[in-house]
Structure 1
Amino acid sequence: MRMPEPRIHVTSPAACRTDGFRTANGECGAVLYGEPAMEKVVFEAGRSCHPAYEFRISSPGMTAVGGYGRITDSRTGEVTSTWADGHGTWARRAFASRADQVIAHELLPAPGRTVDTTLSVDTALDGLLGSTRFTTRATVSNGSGYLSLRGVGRSGRGVFGYEGITRVVAFGGSVLASGATLVVIGAVRLLLLTKLDRYESSSTGGIFPALRTALAGLESDYATLFARHTAATPA
Structure 2
Amino acid sequence: MTGRVVGVGLGPGDPDLMSVRADRLIRGATTVAYFRKKGRPGRARTAVDGMLHADVTEIAMEYPVTTEIPLDDPAYNDALGSFYEDAAETLRSRVAAGEEIIIPCEGDPFFYGSFMHLYTRLKDRVPVEVVPAITGMSAAWTATGMPITWGDDTLSVVMATLPENVLEARFRDADALVVMKIGRNMEKVRRALKAAQKYNRAWLVECASMAEECVMTLRNAEGREVPYFSIVLVHGQGRRP
Do the structures match in fold with TM over 0.5? no
Bigger share in strand: 1
Larger radius of gyration: 2
- Report the TM-score, using the length of structure 2 for normalisation: 0.23
- Report the TM-score, using the length of structure 1 for normalisation: 0.23
Q: Of the two structures, which has the highest relative contact order with CA contacts closer than 8 Å and spacing of 6 or more?
A: 2
